[in-house]
Amino acid sequence: MPGVDVAVIGGGIVGCATAAFLAEGGASVLLAEREAIAAGASGRNSGVVQHPFDAALVDLYEESLEHYRTLGRGFTLPEDPVGLLLVSEEPTPAPDEFPELKPAFVGGAELRALEPALAEGLVAWRLETGRPVPPAAAAKAFALRAHEAGATLQVGQAAHPVVEGGRATGVTIDGAHHAAGAVVLAAGPWTPVESISPLWGVVVEVELPHPPRHTIEESGIDALTEGASGTLFSIVTAQGLSSVGSTFLTEKPDAQDWIPRILERAKRFVPALGEAKPRGLRACARPLSHDGRPLLGPIGIENLAIASGHGPWGVSLGPASARLVADGLLGLDVELPPELAASRV
């Protein structure tokens, strides 16, 4: 049957990078995106390429940095990290699992000199990580690369995998069957597997006259990505625009409702945010897996692979995950770490 070698469902960072690596590896590729490239979290995130604080994910992060350094096509990775300040009102235990991040405790006048945008009375751990990038730039650049390598990008209609006789044979788009030798599910939180669920985030965009130099996060993200619902302050500034976040909610929020709540919490940490006028608002869902790590590769149905479940780290890890999945489908020798293999569910 005529068709493509691989159909990829989902045009976020993971699907676009998978399509690019597959097409550049010689496969014929159909990338199907139901709305727009980067319509999901890959276009609405906080925009920082950052260390994932999980030893099982560090190789993905390091490799993704390399992919970003050579990506081009409208995407520029800052050469040096701006530094991450993990702020709190009371001292927190040292985040010393990764000494390469050079954790340094700062408070009082030293902290105010290091980051004048911060309120008084806070303490922080400074970590050598955090490269701010415009939220959608990476996914769009990979989509362009896929297109340049010959992939067909079909945007505007949902695609669904077709499984016949225990194996994937293609996708349906608007009722039409498109044959494919393999199908990759990269639909973010909408990836149709039980072990992935949405964790909704709202981000308010503001323009501050003197934005923070660092990426700043309130301590405590672990609890919120392990099931508790809530909100945690963060701010990332790229190209003059600051993304202030964020919520961690299992139900889709009314984003407008969250603007005052996010800014109210944020001004406890960066007082200038009390006066800030929202310039934009983004809401999207993180694709969270049952154990917080990506689900990659075969999932027990012949010719069907998955590339999803990156939770709060998809921008930072997505390109390397995509490369692993693409190499597996291209028949290259791939060592998929068991803690990332989709077959673990």
Ligand X SMILES: Cc1cc2nc3c(=O)[nH]c(=O)nc-3n(C[C@H](O)[C@H](O)[C@H](O)COP(=O)(O)OP(=O)(O)OC[C@H]3O[C@@H](n4cnc5c(N)ncnc54)[C@H](O)[C@@H]3O)c2cc1C
Residues near ligand X (CB under 6 A) are 9-15, 32-35, 39-42, 45-48, 50, 158-160, 186-190, 201, 203, 245-246, 284, 286-287, 308, 310-316, 318
Q: 26 vs 74, which CB is nearer to ligand X?
A: 74
Q: What are the C-alpha distances in Å from 274 to residues 91, 161, 213? A: 24, 47, 18
Q: 303 vs 316, which CB is nearer to ligand X?
A: 316
User: DSSP E strands: which ranges in 20-112?
Assistant: 29-33, 48-49, 84-88, 104-107
Could you tell me the smallest distance in angstroms from the CB atom of residue 77 to ligand X? 13
Could you tell me the smallest distance in angstroms from the CB atom of residue 203 to ligand X? 5
At which residue do the structure tokens 């964020």 appear? Answer: 246
Q: Which helix (H) or strand (E) holds 296?
A: strand 295-298
**272, 208 contact by CB (below 8 A):** yes
Q: 26 vs 233, which CB is nearer to ligand X?
A: 233
Q: 112 vs 344, which CB is nearer to ligand X?
A: 344
Could you tell me the smallest distance in angstroms from the CB atom of residue 241 to ligand X? 13
Q: 132 vs 298, which CB is nearer to ligand X?
A: 132
> Which DSSP symbol is given to 194?
T
Three-state DSSP state, 155: strand
Amino acid at position 180, single letter: A
Could you tell me the smallest distance in angstroms from the CB atom of residue 208 to ligand X? 18
Q: What are the C-alpha distances in Å from 103 to residues 6, 129, 204? A: 43, 10, 28
Could you tell me the smallest distance in angstroms from the CB atom of residue 211 to ligand X? 16
Q: 25 vs 188, which CB is nearer to ligand X?
A: 188
Could you tell me the smallest distance in angstroms from the CB atom of residue 292 to ligand X? 11
Spatial distance between the Cα atoms of 117 and 119, rounded to a whole number of angstroms: 7
Q: At what angle do helices 137-148 and 13-24 cross, to 10 degrees?
A: 20
Spatial distance between the Cα atoms of 249 and 228, rounded to a whole number of angstroms: 8
At which residue do the structure tokens 């911060």 appear? Answer: 118
Percent of residues in the chain assigned helix, strand, coil, to nearest 5:
30, 35, 40
Could you tell me the smallest distance in angstroms from the CB atom of residue 275 to ligand X? 23
Q: 112 vs 336, which CB is nearer to ligand X?
A: 336
**48, 226 contact by CB (below 8 A):** no
Q: 124 vs 203, which CB is nearer to ligand X?
A: 203
Spatial distance between the Cα atoms of 227 and 214, rounded to a whole number of angstroms: 28
Could you tell me the smallest distance in angstroms from the CB atom of residue 37 to ligand X? 7
**13, 321 contact by CB (below 8 A):** no
CB atoms within 10 A of CB 108: 11
